[in-house]
Structure 1
Amino acid sequence: MKHKYIYLNVAQKLANQIRNGVLKKGDRLPSIRGLCDEYDISMNTAKRVYIELESESLVISVPQSGYFVSSANYSDYPLPKASNPMLLADSDVPKDIINKVYSNIGSKNLTLFSINALYGEFLPTNQMKKEIGLAIKTLNNGGVDYESVQGSVNLRRMIASRSSTWGGNLTEEDIVTTNGSINAISLCLLALGRPGDTVAIESPCYPGIFQLAIDLGFKVLELPTDPVTGVKIDALREVLNEIDICLLISNYNTPLGSCMPTEHKKIVVELLAQHNIPLIEDDVYGDLNFNGKRPTCCKAFDTTGNVLWCSSISKTIAPGYRVGWVSAGKYQDKIIELKLIHSISSPPLLQEAVASFIKSGKYEKHLRELRRKLFANYQKILDIIINEFPQNTKVTRPEGGLSLWIEFDEKVNTIKLYDLCIKEGISIAPGRMFTVQKQFQNCIRISIGLPWSNDVEDKLKRIGVLSKKAF
């Protein structure tokens, strides 16, 4: 605890100097070793100081050059407003725009700001090729046989071990592997409800979630959501008697990038347990924290088996592998039964490769580097949006994940903006695709998962220019 207070104290001193203008934009800051000498602190404490300052967008790290006062200190810049959907959803799924956007997946001719995935150098492609080769040699018959329904024991063991990073206390028996996170969520919905039941979700929300729920016959109720702290607890309290299931992306939600505070997660888990309403928690972005402090999960506060925690490696290792999992608490047996019916088993080869990658320690090393690169991307993109986009543009400032939510002037029609962008080889995600109600027409989601380049920078600036024509 003492160590924690030391780094916060030093970080606060430097933050005050930056905010008061003593340290100017672009000024070089002491090296890690220099900070150690100046404040008589350890190397680890000095690193934590700069992680804290980076998380506040006050400092930027330049490889081989050191730390500098950031030009992107926008802590007081206005955020997009919290959502205020109608309590009763009209289930007006915007299929046309959703289909347009997702038909761009895999396109080599478009700059895909619209798809929340990692590309190029952000993915450990070469390392995973080696892991797959090793898995072919170590698995019986090279991995061509069926895996057990519950999934690879090695992968489940690694997932359970890593749960301690967010306050979990899982064992390998608590995990069932799935074909990605959306498959896990599908199994959960099938296990928990029946057509006509109501599922409460954040607003805005990833369209794959409400499309899935509605396709399975559920009603969808969108909850007011804050761009920083996530779903509003008071709004959830008001509808507890009207909902059957709650489904939340508690950490770095897409598209807002919001992260529920730890205390909010605890309250939500307790509220839902009291009313016997199961919570499906999609934690697919949880490992992508910018500041090195992995947020906890709602599952950490689950004492009744009421939280079904879902995740995958799609946002960290390989979106195409479709390796996911669920820890379903008291619904575990039902999940296993449904998995047997719907898919029999998961591909053993990819599961084993992922398990080996995690066990070797390479995954944690990859995450550290990935977080640093994503944060650098985030700062560059934020700087362009603030300085190059039209006045009155608002943008979220998440502490992790892959999403930036941009709110233009109300006159801007982002479906028209999408059409203008496509003509110039740019794909964006209009806000209307993240809701089943008529809202967010002046918003877009931008993914930060594209490696930075001059072309990415130019295309991002063009979005700002084209938004002035999208009326």
Structure 2
Amino acid sequence: MLRHEQVSETIAHMITSGALSPGDKVPSLRKMSQDAGVSISTVSQAYINLEHQGVLEARPQSGFYVTEHAVDTPQAPEMKTTAAEPCCIPFRDLYNTIFSLAGRSDIVPLGAAVPSTSLLPVKGLLRATRRIMTEEPERVVSYAFPPGVRELREQIALAYTRMNTKVDVDQIIITTGATEALALGLQTVTRPGDVVAVESPTYFSVLKLMQQLGLMAVEVPTDPETGMDLDALDQIMETSDVKAVITVPNFQNPLGFTMPDENKQRLVEMLTARSVPLLEDDIYGDLHFGDRRPSPCKRFDTKGIVISCGCYSKNIAPGYRVGWVVPGRYYKEVLERKQAFNSATPTLTQLAVAEFLKSGEYERSLKRIRAALKREVGWVRHMICQHFPSETKVTNPAGGFILWVELPSNVSGRDLFDEALKKNISVTPGVLFSSLRHYRNCIRINCGYDQDTVKEDTFITLGKLIKKLALGK
């Protein structure tokens, strides 16, 4: 944890413990500097961050004070009990609309889960790209046939090692993003008409992919803090012929939960006993707010039933489309499909990302990205507390940049989407995250942009629209 984050945590603890109350003046910069053993500039940075989150307010010639809303703690959404019956997956034009809005400069981007390029290590990645183009010009214009550039696979294997997970470099296949990795895994272990168990709610692109493959979804009740209800999954598997399970175990999209290690281990053991493959999409794991990266499910895999997928789209460069899959016992079949459907992933982007990872710049940039995302997630939660109806519920993730918001029961997330779009604001309606069209009064909010792009006026406008819809107007 960075020093200014430690100071922020100290102030936050003083507030939650009651040592500081709303309206109280916090220790001066000099006093806090002496108490914490850090520089005055470090304390200043911490206080400014807390001010952005709405926890502190600066008063001219006086200092920093705890705001009236500093102790606002919105309720978390509750786990929904879903029907444990497999069903077909409906999709309409709304899916395409969400992505089309993400590229429009006139739209406030709370919809698609896309981080701002201002957060990404653009300059460092471009330096790495130029080095590769200069040093290996002939290689960058040549094919990199599957399983992909070895230098990149070595860096990914090293990352797994840091997570206490043994993955050999020759077990990794480079893909064009995590979506291709999931697609290859699903195509390998399922056939049209098969049943796949998913979290509820789950990322809508997973549902779209399953629809395209002709698969049936069975939704498993999912806790907003700990993830998939494993007892419910066990019961579902007793009555349904589940061919695969998909999970986003760390900072899940859209709920933001992190599955505890004991649950990950139990899940892997349950599926191993049944020889049912687990596809894990661990694309947010590096964006943790705490001191330690959470483990992947792959860590607990002793029989090769976990198909582990990842990418660098959320933390390095979405446009480079660099992902990977560790298929375990399904390696040969996944490799054959990769060769048949997409004979090679672009060489330049693989080499550039490998060079960037090897330079050490990635780990340095992650510290900045994590701190920024933690600050923005906290600020958006504060804005929701201030401007949305009091019965609104919102998640509190420990990483990533997604918030799941449960609106008053009579407010349609789809209606809010339509009304917000008239104000040039994009959100994602909750119904997209369920094959059963549940979560009609929910929305997902992207917190991957700073307050220069997403201002308080945006949440004031959304709050007014929600209250108007609640009144039936």
TM-score by length of 2: 0.88
Distance 1:461 1:296, change over 3 A: same
Aligned-residue offset at 1:462: 1.2
| Residue 85, structure 1, aligned to residue 85, structure 2 | no
Distance 1:273 1:29, change over 3 A: farther
In structure 1, what is the equivalent of residue 142 of structure 2? 145
Distance 1:81 1:293 in 2: 27
In structure 2, what is the equivalent of residue 197 of structure 1? 194
2:13 maps to a residue whose letter is A
Distance 1:377 1:71, change over 3 A: farther
Aligned-pair identity (%): 32
In structure 2, what is the equivalent of residue 355 of structure 1? 354
Distance 1:427 1:94 in 2: 19
In structure 2, what is the equivalent of residue 3 of structure 1? none
In structure 2, what is the equivalent of residue 256 of structure 1? 255
Distance 2:15 2:393 in 1: 27
Distance 1:277 1:418 in 2: 38
Aligned-residue offset at 1:461: 2.3
Q: Give the SS at the match of 1:194.
A: coil
Aligned-residue offset at 1:191: 1.1
In structure 2, what is the equivalent of residue 169 of structure 1? 166
In structure 1, what is the equivalent of residue 293 of structure 2? 294
Distance 1:454 1:159 in 2: 33
Pairing partner for 2:97 from 93, 97, 100? 100
Unaligned runs of 5+ in 1: 1-7
Aligned-residue offset at 1:407: 0.5
Aligned-residue offset at 1:132: 1.4
Distance 2:285 2:212 in 1: 27
In structure 1, what is the equivalent of residue 120 of structure 2? 123
Q: Give the SS at the match of 1:239.
A: helix
- The superposition leaves residues 185-231 of structure 1 with CA deviations (integer Å, 9 ceiling, x where unpaired) of 00000111111211101011111101111211211111101111111
CA contact (8 A) 1:390 1:468 kept: yes
In structure 1, what is the equivalent of residue 334 of structure 2? 335
In structure 2, what is the equivalent of residue 446 of structure 1? 445
Aligned-residue offset at 1:116: 0.5
In structure 1, what is the equivalent of residue 224 of structure 2? 227
**What pairs with 1:367-446 in structure 2 (closer than 5 Å)?**
367-446=366-445
CA contact (8 A) 2:74 2:392 kept: no
In structure 2, what is the equivalent of residue 310 of structure 1? 309
**What pairs with 1:238-257 in structure 2 (closer than 5 Å)?**
238-241=235-238, 242=240, 243-257=242-256
| Residue 466, structure 1, aligned to residue 465, structure 2 | yes
Distance 2:264 2:296 in 1: 7
2:158 maps to a residue whose letter is S
Q: Give the SS at the match of 1:449.
A: coil
Q: How many residues align?
A: 451
CA contact (8 A) 1:89 1:437 kept: no
TM-score by length of 1: 0.88
Aligned-residue offset at 1:171: 2.4
Aligned-residue offset at 1:17: 6.4
Q: Please, what is the CA RMSD of the aligned residues?
A: 3.0
**What pairs with 1:275-290 in structure 2 (closer than 5 Å)?**
275-290=274-289
Distance 1:14 1:319 in 2: 34
Aligned-residue offset at 1:400: 0.7
Distance 2:226 2:454 in 1: 33
1:206 maps to a residue whose letter is Y
CA contact (8 A) 2:146 2:335 kept: yes
Aligned-residue offset at 1:24: 5.0
- The superposition leaves residues 390-440 of structure 1 with CA deviations (integer Å, 9 ceiling, x where unpaired) of 121111011011210000111101111111111111111000111111311
1:393 maps to a residue whose letter is T
Q: Give the SS at the match of 2:457.
A: helix
CA contact (8 A) 2:20 2:26 kept: no
CA contact (8 A) 1:191 1:334 kept: yes
| Residue 19, structure 1, aligned to residue 11, structure 2 | no
Unaligned runs of 5+ in 2: 1-5
1:212 maps to a residue whose letter is L
Q: Higher mean Cα deviation, 355-364 or 179-188?
A: 355-364
In structure 2, what is the equivalent of residue 109 of structure 1? 106
Aligned-residue offset at 1:465: 1.3
CA contact (8 A) 1:89 1:436 kept: no
Distance 1:42 1:74, change over 3 A: closer
Distance 1:438 1:444 in 2: 13
2:461 maps to a residue whose letter is R
Distance 1:70 1:309, change over 3 A: farther
Q: Give the SS at the match of 2:286.
A: coil
Distance 1:323 1:414 in 2: 33
Aligned-residue offset at 1:142: 4.8
Distance 2:381 2:320 in 1: 30
Aligned-residue offset at 1:15: 2.7
